[in-house]
Structure 1
Amino acid sequence: MGKNVGEYFGTDGIRGLTNTHPMTPGMAMRVGQAAGRKFLRGNHKHRVVIGKDTRLSGYMIESALIAGFTSVGMDVVQVGPLPTPAVAMLTRSMRADLGVMISASHNPFHDNGIKLFGPDGFKLSDEDEADIEHRLDITPKLAKPEDIGRAKMFQDARGRYIHDAKLSFPSHLRLDGLHIVIDCAHGASYTVAPDALWELGADVTRMGVDPDGFNINRECGSTHPDALQAKVRELGADIGIALDGDADRLIVVDEQGKIVDGDQIMALIATDWARKDLLRGGGLVATVMSNLGLERYLESHQLVLARTKVGDRHVLEHMRRHGFNVGGEQSGHMILTDYATTGDGLVAALQVLACLVARGQPASQLLTLFEPLPQLLRNVRYQDNDPMMVDSVQAAIRAGEDRLGNRGRVLIRKSGTEPVIRVMAEGEDRDVIEQVVDDICDAVQKAA
C-alpha cells in the first residue's frame, strides 16, 4: 500500500465520509489492530475505552474497532454515546492503555471519525499517529485463541462523567433560580449535559436531545445556534448554551439572544481566574483566528495572548509546553487543563455560569468584554487540485495584504478536516475587509 504519513490522520484524528476510504469498517478494524499492537506494553491485561456520538454509522465503526482491538489481545470497554472529553477522562481514570472516540464532531451525520487518546487522556502525539499509520501497512500479529480480548459495556460511564464535570463548578455556588436553555445538537451530550445543569439547581430547557442517527448537528448546536437564540428570547431565559456533536465545543447565547463566541468566553475565564490567582502562564493560548480585539483586551489586563496554528491540538501542545491552563479557539473549543485533557464544552460552560451566579450580572454584560474588530471568514470548497499553488490566488492574497497594511491582517489556510480553503480578513474598516475577502475567494473559486 505504501501510504505516506499523514494520509489518514488529519488535524483531529481520522475523518471522512462514511463507507468511503478511509472511513470504512475495514480501515477501522486495521486502526484497532495497529493502535492495539502499539499500546500492548507490559504484562498487564490491556484495555481500551471506546465511546461514540449519536450518528448512525457509529455502531458499524465501533464493531469494526472492537474486532481489531480484541483480535490483537486488548479488552474493550464500551461506554456508548458520551462527549469526547468524557472518553478522555475515563481513559485516564480507568487506567486504560488507550481511548477512542468515534465522532466527526460538528460535521453532518454522513461523516464520521476516529480520535485516539493515550493512557494520560491526552490526544496522541504526531509521532504516535505516524507510528500507527506505519503499522497500518504491516500485517498485525494476532493474539493466540486463549488471549483474544473481551468486550463489555460499562454501565456507569455517564454518571462518572457528570460527577467529574460537576467537580469543576465551585462547591460554594449553585445554579438555583437560573433558567438555562441548552442545545445538545442531538449529539453525544444529549443526556449528560442537561442532567449536570439540573443537578446543580438550574431550571433547564432542553433542545437537541432526540437523536435518531441522522439529525446530529442538523440546524442545531454550536454551528447552527439560530433556534437556540429564538428559544432564549421566547422564554426570557438567562442564558443559552450550545454544544456540538461530540460536546468539545461551546457557544453561548446571552439573555438578549446574541451569540457569544469563544474569544469572549476565553477572555472572561482568563481574567476571572487571574483575579483569583488561578491563571497560569500569564495569559491564554488561542489560534491565529482569534480576534485582535481579544489580544488588545488581554494586554490591558497585563495578560498575554499566545497564538498557534488552527486546531485544538496545537493549542493544547503550546499550553502543556509553556505552562498555560486556559486556551481555546474562537470557534468554541475551550481547553481548561485544571479539569480536562481536551476541549470540554460543558466544563467551560460551568465556568461561565459560575461567573454569572457569583457576579449577579446579566449574561450580555458579563460576556461583552471587548469590541471585536470587524472580521470576515468564508470557505471555498475545492476538489483534487490545490488552489493555493495557483499564481493568481497568491497574487490576490498579496494584493489583500497590501491593501490592509498595518490596519489589519489576512489569513488563508486549508481546513484539516474537509476539502475547503478558509479565507479570513480582519481590520478596522469592514467595507475594505469584505472587498479583500471577496477578491481572494473569487480567485480561489476560479482556481478550484
Structure 2
Amino acid sequence: MMRTRPLKVALLGCGVVGSEVARIMTTHAEDLAARIGAPVELAGVAVRRPSKVREGIDPALVTTDATALLKRGDIDVAIEVIGGIEPARALIHTAFEHGISVVSANKALLAQDGAALHAAADAAGLDLYYEAAVAGAIPLVRPMRESLAGDKINRVMGIVNGTTNFILDKMDSTGAGYQEALDEATALGYAEADPTADVEGYDAAAKAAILAGIAFHTRARLDDVYREGMTEVSAADFASAKRMGCTIKLLAILERAADGQSVTARVHPAMIPLSHPLASVREAYNAVFVEAEAAGRLMFYGPGAGGAPTASAVLGDLVAVCRNKLAEATGPGESAYTQLPVSTMGDVVTRYHISLDVADKPGVLAQVATTFAEHGVSIDTVRQQGKDGEASLVVVTHRAHDAALSGTVEALRKLDTVRGVASIMRVEGE
C-alpha cells in the first residue's frame, strides 16, 4: 500500500549536483514514489544566490535561510550538497536536532568530522548516508558497509579522483607534459580553475579517510592519511614505467597490517603493472579494488564525478533513507569497534623506483649499491645510461619499509657522486 502523505525533502545547495537532484526528483517522481512506498516532495531549496534562475525549480521553494527551512517542523530528509565544512556541519547538526535524517555528498566534512556526525545521528535515532561522498555514481560505500559486513577487508586500492586520472592518462597515452594535460582537463571541465585539491591529493585523501573507516571498522581522519600530489610526475617517469611494463596512477591505498593490529592510509602516485585492472582505467573514470578474506578481489568501476552521476548516488541514498523512515528504522551507522591505530607512512612496506643523476665514472654503482645495503633496502634491478661525464641510474628495489627507503635517499643525496635524486616512485599492485 502506498502512503499518501509525501515525505518532505529539504535540498541544501543547488549547484551542479543539487540542480540534478532536483531535476531527477521531479522527472522521476512516480518511480521514486513506487520504489519508496510514498511520494517524495521537494519542500524547500536553500541557496546563497536566490536571484539566479534555476530551471525546473519553483522559485517559491527557494530560500536563503537554510536553518529556518530545517526548523519549520515538516521536513523528513535533508540532502546536503553544499560542500566544505561550514555551514554544512552546523546545518547537519540542526537537521538531527529536529528529527531529520541526512543524505550528504560532503567528503571533506565526513573525513574531518565523521565521528561526531555519526554520534549525533545515532543519538537522535536518525540516518546519515553518504554514498555520493566517494567515487561519484559508483556503488561503493553501501556494498562495503553492508554487503561485505560479514567479511574481513584487508586492502583497498583505488583511483578515486577523476581529474588526476584524466591528466595522467593523457600524459601516458599522448606523451603530453603535466601542464599540457592539465590545460586540456581544465578546458574540458574536468579540472577546476584552482586544481590544487585534486592534483595535490587532498580530494583523494578525504575519500581515503572515509573508506578506511568503513573497511577496517575504525576511525580515520583526513590527518591520518599520508598524501603526495602528482604535479612532479614527468614524461621521464612514464618512459621508465613503460620499460617496466607499468603505467602511473594516483592511488588511494588502505591496508591492514599483517598482524592485524594497525592500518595504513595513503595517497600518492605509483607505478602499477599494465596487467592490473586499475591500469586500464582511462580518462576521468574511477575504480576501486577491494581485497576481502572470503569474497576475494572485487572491483568497482564507473564515473567518479559530475552532476548526474553524483546525483544518482544521492538519490539512491534518498530512497534508502525514506524507506527507513516509513519502517521507523535506521540503516547501518558508524562501525568503529576495532579502534585500530593508523600507522605512519614509515611503516608501509612496498617496492620503489628511484631515478638518480650521477657522475659517469667507475665505482659509482658500487657506492650507490652499498648505500642501499647499509639501510636494509635490497635492490632488484639497476639500469644505467651515461654520456659526456653524466649518467642516469634507475634502481628498482625489492619490498622495503618506507622509513628505510627515506633513510637511503637522504644518504644518497649526501654522496659526492650523486648529483640529484630525480624521481622516487612507489611500485604497487604486483
The alignment's TM-score, normalised by the length of structure 2, stands at: 0.26
Bigger radius of gyration: 2
Q: Which has the higher contact order (CA 8 A, sep 6+)?
A: 2
The alignment's TM-score, normalised by the length of structure 1, stands at: 0.25
Structure with greater strand percent: 2
